Chain A
Amino acid sequence: MMGSAAATVWEAPVGVEDELSRLRRGDPEALGALVERYQHRLYRYLCRLVGDSAAAEDLFQQTWLRVAEQIHRYDAGRNFDAWLFRVAHNLAIDSLRRYRPESLDEPLPSGESRVEHIPGGAPSALDLVAEREWSGRIADAIAQLPAIYREVLALRFEEEMKLEEISESLGAPLSTVKTRLRRALETLRARLEASGAVSEVTP
């Protein structure tokens, strides 16, 4: 019925370990390979977090510059995904605090997200029209959640990160991550109910 418990040992995807060891040896090509490998995941995460494609692009570049500066601090035995997303998280939170401090805890003032209008990736062929419409409504509702809720939903459901990885990425205790995830889902559902869309959730 449900997935098994999260494993705590990180298993690097094929190729990542090789690129990381080359990067630590000072191979400049390795960093370029990592940029390409993580381009969509990292960009998507930043889009969800800051809610703006131009800001996400800027933060994407800043993240990789920071990675280049700090790769010597990365412990090879730890989860690179979590480390990378933590670098991005710190930069994004700094940016949000600087330019839109209200967006961390409050819905975007416009009530309209720019992210969901960005062309998406290839959808599953099995997606039904109704399912896509429902997902679109979910995207609208998520875009209006506070940034900390959008972030935890993106990491859990889009990036399929384990809670331990999310905890490491956010630099927050596991209990905080669980609370944030639960509140994010409950808030999302409450907003969908308020908009009358929740009946479509019923199987």
Chain B
Amino acid sequence: MTVKDHSALRAQLTLAAAGALDDADRMEIERHLAVCPACAAEFARWQRMGVAIRRMPKPLAPAGLVERTRALLVERQVREAEARSNFRGLALLLVFVWAMTFLAWPLGRQLAVGAASWFALDSARASLWVLAYTIFGSIAGTTAAVVLGLNRRQAARRAA
């Protein structure tokens, strides 16, 4: 064993005692320790330090931490469920608004030229009905959007 080998191996004793060497290095160290009492003693010191680190007083999670964490997780789940519900409501509202937009013209035309005669209305009064229908739809859509927006803001406040 050359001096250089000895120094190189000695430098590895720290990691060897920490169980941080691969098989080849570990076996090389073991062979060296068997013939070098000085390194064996040094290795024993490092091992003892490792044992002492393992035996340090260990902090335990304080009582109630698990319960508080679980409560936070449940609260998060509720918020997520609300957000999903709001999203579904908003999506339905959008579909409704678009459907109404596309249907407004054919419905209006039908009322003006066909259904108006069922109620003995002239075309001018039929147009008023179309206008009333459109206004009602807009108000309903706007109200729903405002309600959803308020719900969302309330949920965000709770989250904060």
Contact = CB atoms under 8 A, between A and B. Distances in A.
Interface of A: 1-5, 28, 31-32, 35-36, 39-40, 42-44, 47, 53, 56-57, 60-61, 64-65, 68, 115-116, 118-121, 123-124, 127, 131-132, 134-136, 138-139, 142, 153, 156-158, 163, 178, 181-182, 185-186, 188-189, 201-203
Given A43-B61, A53-B59, A64-B73, A138 B53 contact: yes
Interface residues of B, number: 42
B61 A139 contact: no
B34 to A, nearest CB: 9
Nearest to B64: A57
A40 B61 contact: yes
Q: Is the interface of A mostly helix, strand, loop or mixed?
A: helix
B46 A131 contact: no
A203 B44 contact: yes
B19 A65 contact: no
Interface string B50-87: 10111111111110011011101110110000000000
Given A39-B65, A43-B65, A2 B16 contact: yes
Contact of A157 (B30, B50, B69, B72): B50
A57 B23 CA distance: 39
